[in-house]
Chain A
């Protein structure tokens, strides 16, 4: 139980309408100790999902709205001279939390983005020679608007690689939208009234347990084939790296764990493939111009590479 219980609680509540996939991937990324980049237009429940997960897991939650004039110290913290003690005192930035929602990450300057992404990777910050460990568990849920073109600093490919998964979230279906409109007041009240169903310690234990999920030799081969296929695809300029394969493996294990299994099956690999690989491969410009997306390429590869038999 634990994170699995939280997953069942959130999806079973019926308030996060048509967001089961997003919740599952975020929880899997938490278990896999990764960070999540959520790409979607404003107003598609990104903050609500983050808040709900934080409250359900009894984790600290902070939100930072990125702007071009935001400085690295506004995220990671700074030292200030305390006249009473005649010493420098460290004031922690919002990064010292368990779940950090970074809204519109591509609006921050490259300098601030870089400081944040480095902290995400190292899970620690160093200021004037002093190193401070970040809290565990720690997950960054960064959002970006795919439509915004002006006044933004797109994340370079190397920085994108810091995110374990990229989730593309969109509008609900008409049916889901109508249901949401009917429940709008209830949803707000429900999010505010959520009681934690898991303690922080339980989450940490589960992160450790998920590492023991068994992976068969054939599944390792399957992951390798899928990743290598991205390098052979005619529309791909730069295929997925070995680190991408590791990301697929970690996410597949986490998903298997969330689904109550202690072994990975090819379905786990397939369902995490697009979120883990689509932001790590670069398409040839001529195909991009034609409207081909990395997600579609990954999907095509998943539908081509044979699943382990027998």
Chain B
């Protein structure tokens, strides 16, 4: 494998990786975690929360969606710890709202509360009720509610914490038979939960598009797998429809390879033509060549010109005839002129032929080369 191909593959990999990385950051915008149901369902859930009429099935859907969001934000690494805590609290809120919960879910919900005062207060109430079989009076619940509302007004509770705390109090009230209190708490918690969801939306603008009424059509989200994915791990983030991904990838690689294999030699030749080692040394060579007269000087000037024009360099171990043979085909119609100039150089340099007419002939041949190169 030539060095050129290796460089090309490396560049291709870097470019594809850059594209894949960009797409990886974009993925959550295109696949916002609404697996199984649409954005309009999500909008419906928020409306129900705002109106205080969230059904058990809607709560179940919301819990499921938030669970997916938690997984996605974790995989993509776009979640902060506060966002994650909010999402966890909301997940717990909707799970409890669905009515399908156990004692351990309640204990888990208590553990998710951030505010220590609220956590201790509610834990104490639930312990009395669950493990000590002591009844909790409505005044105890109202007292706790008062304390929680004070903390909320003081800004010491996040919306998700507040909603979850209200939900827990509502469960406790319902368990003790204070239905009126429970309904009031549920209604309040739903309103706060709607606000909490909006707060999450504001933290993930790309995750949940602001224009909820006109959802973008998400890409199908099929990931590249198989051999391309093994060869280019980052490509697994590329979202191309499954049927096309391999074809597109192979076609891109083949087309780019063909194009580069065609262009690269020409490009290299053009670039190398800009730099002639002999041209760099020509001043020194010419100065030294002066000992042998003009003919030798013209020869070196011609070599520098030809190196730039053809990209073929005169290496230190090349003889002058070897160089002539190397550039003969590239020079085309000019090759006889350069061939003769090489002969004149040899005669002057190695035989000490000092005839004046050789200088004149060399000057004419050099002029011919310069004019036509």
Chain A positions within 8 Å of B, measured between CB atoms, are 214, 216, 218-219, 261-267, 270, 302-307, 309-310
Interface of A is mostly: loop
Whether A303 pairs with B317 at a CB distance below 8 angstroms is yes
Q: A310-B296, A310-B300 are in contact. Are A263 and B351 (CB under 8 A)?
A: yes
Chain B positions within 8 Å of A, measured between CB atoms, are 285-286, 288-289, 292, 296, 300, 316-322, 346-347, 349-352
Q: In the complex the two chains form, what is the Cα distance from A216 to B288 in whole Å?
A: 16
Whether A304 pairs with B317 at a CB distance below 8 angstroms is yes
Whether B351 pairs with A302 at a CB distance below 8 angstroms is no
Whether B322 pairs with A267 at a CB distance below 8 angstroms is yes
Q: In the complex the two chains form, what is the Cα distance from A219 to B319 in whole Å?
A: 12
Which of chain A's residues have a CB closer than 8 A to the CB of B318? 307
Query: Which partner residue on chain B sits nearest A215 by CB separation?
Result: B350
Can you report 21 A-B residue pairs in the complex whose CB atoms are below 8 A from each other? A214-B350, A214-B352, A216-B351, A218-B350, A219-B350, A262-B351, A263-B350, A264-B350, A265-B320, A265-B321, A265-B350, A266-B319, A266-B320, A270-B319, A305-B317, A307-B316, A307-B317, A307-B319, A307-B320, A310-B285, A310-B288
Contact among A261, A262, A267, A306 for B317, CB-based, below 8 A? A306
Q: In the complex the two chains form, what is the Cα distance from A28 to B27 in whole Å?
A: 78
Interface centre among B285, B317, B321, B350 (most CB of A within 10 A): B350
Contact among A216, A267, A305 for B321, CB-based, below 8 A? A267
Q: In the complex the two chains form, what is the Cα distance from A284 to B362 in whole Å?
A: 48
Which of chain A's residues have a CB closer than 8 A to the CB of B289? 310
Q: A267-B322, A309-B285, A310-B289 are in contact. Are A214 and B317 (CB under 8 A)?
A: no
Whether A263 pairs with B347 at a CB distance below 8 angstroms is yes
Which of chain A's residues have a CB closer than 8 A to the CB of B288? 310
Interface centre among B292, B317, B318 (most CB of A within 10 A): B317
Give me the 4 closest cross-chain CB pairs, A-B, nearest first. Answer: A263-B351, A306-B316, A310-B289, A310-B285
Q: In the complex the two chains form, what is the Cα distance from A302 to B317 in whole Å?
A: 7
Q: In the complex the two chains form, what is the Cα distance from A257 to B311 in whole Å?
A: 34
Query: Which partner residue on chain A sits nearest B284 by CB separation?
Result: A310
Interface of B is mostly: helix
Q: A265-B321, A267-B319, A270-B319 are in contact. Are A214 and B351 (CB under 8 A)?
A: yes
Which of chain B's residues have a CB closer than 8 A to the CB of A265? 319-321, 346, 350
Q: In the complex the two chains form, what is the Cα distance from A306 to B316 in whole Å?
A: 5
Whether A216 pairs with B352 at a CB distance below 8 angstroms is yes
Whether A216 pairs with B350 at a CB distance below 8 angstroms is yes
Query: Which partner residue on chain A sits nearest B322 by CB separation?
Result: A267
Which of chain B's residues have a CB closer than 8 A to the CB of A216? 349-352
For the A-B complex with A263-B350, A267-B321, A310-B289 known, give 15 more contacts whose Cβ atoms are closer than 8 Å: A214-B350, A214-B351, A216-B350, A218-B350, A265-B346, A265-B350, A267-B322, A270-B319, A302-B317, A304-B317, A306-B317, A307-B316, A307-B318, A310-B285, A310-B296
| Min CB gap B166→A, angstroms | 86
Q: In the complex the two chains form, what is the Cα distance from A306 to B315 in whole Å?
A: 8
| Min CB gap A88→B, angstroms | 54
| Min CB gap B328→A, angstroms | 15
Which of chain A's residues have a CB closer than 8 A to the CB of B351? 214, 216, 261-263
Interface centre among A261, A265, A267 (most CB of B within 10 A): A265
Q: In the complex the two chains form, what is the Cα distance from A216 to B296 in whole Å?
A: 15
Q: In the complex the two chains form, what is the Cα distance from A310 to B296 in whole Å?
A: 8
| Min CB gap A85→B, angstroms | 58
Which of chain B's residues have a CB closer than 8 A to the CB of A219? 350
Which of chain A's residues have a CB closer than 8 A to the CB of B349? 216, 218, 310
Query: Which partner residue on chain A sits nearest B288 by CB separation?
Result: A310
Q: In the complex the two chains form, what is the Cα distance from A115 to B101 in whole Å?
A: 114
Q: In the complex the two chains form, what is the Cα distance from A302 to B319 in whole Å?
A: 10
Q: In the complex the two chains form, what is the Cα distance from A307 to B289 in whole Å?
A: 15
Query: Which partner residue on chain B sits nearest A261 by CB separation?
Result: B351
Query: Which partner residue on chain B sits nearest A262 by CB separation?
Result: B351
Which of chain A's residues have a CB closer than 8 A to the CB of B320? 265-267, 307
Which of chain B's residues have a CB closer than 8 A to the CB of A267? 319-322
Query: Which partner residue on chain B sits nearest A309 by CB separation?
Result: B285
Q: In the complex the two chains form, what is the Cα distance from A130 to B347 in whole Å?
A: 49
Q: In the complex the two chains form, what is the Cα distance from A306 to B277 in whole Å?
A: 15
Q: In the complex the two chains form, what is the Cα distance from A265 to B320 in whole Å?
A: 9
Query: Which partner residue on chain B sits nearest A307 by CB separation?
Result: B319
| Min CB gap B312→A, angstroms | 16
Which of chain A's residues have a CB closer than 8 A to the CB of B286? 310
Q: In the complex the two chains form, what is the Cα distance from A102 to B330 in whole Å?
A: 47
| Min CB gap A190→B, angstroms | 31
Q: In the complex the two chains form, what is the Cα distance from A151 to B106 in whole Å?
A: 102
Q: In the complex the two chains form, what is the Cα distance from A262 to B346 in whole Å?
A: 11
Q: In the complex the two chains form, what is the Cα distance from A270 to B321 in whole Å?
A: 11
Interface centre among B296, B316, B347, B349 (most CB of A within 10 A): B349
Q: In the complex the two chains form, what is the Cα distance from A219 to B351 in whole Å?
A: 11
| Min CB gap B316→A, angstroms | 4
Which of chain B's residues have a CB closer than 8 A to the CB of A261? 351
Which of chain A's residues have a CB closer than 8 A to the CB of B300? 310
Q: In the complex the two chains form, what is the Cα distance from A303 to B322 in whole Å?
A: 11
| Min CB gap A255→B, angstroms | 13
Q: In the complex the two chains form, what is the Cα distance from A218 to B318 in whole Å?
A: 15
Which of chain A's residues have a CB closer than 8 A to the CB of B321? 265, 267
Which of chain B's residues have a CB closer than 8 A to the CB of A306? 316-317
Query: Which partner residue on chain A sits nearest B282 by CB separation?
Result: A310
Query: Which partner residue on chain B sits nearest A263 by CB separation?
Result: B351
Q: In the complex the two chains form, what is the Cα distance from A218 to B291 in whole Å?
A: 14
Q: In the complex the two chains form, what is the Cα distance from A263 to B349 in whole Å?
A: 10
| Min CB gap B340→A, angstroms | 15
Which of chain B's residues have a CB closer than 8 A to the CB of A305? 317
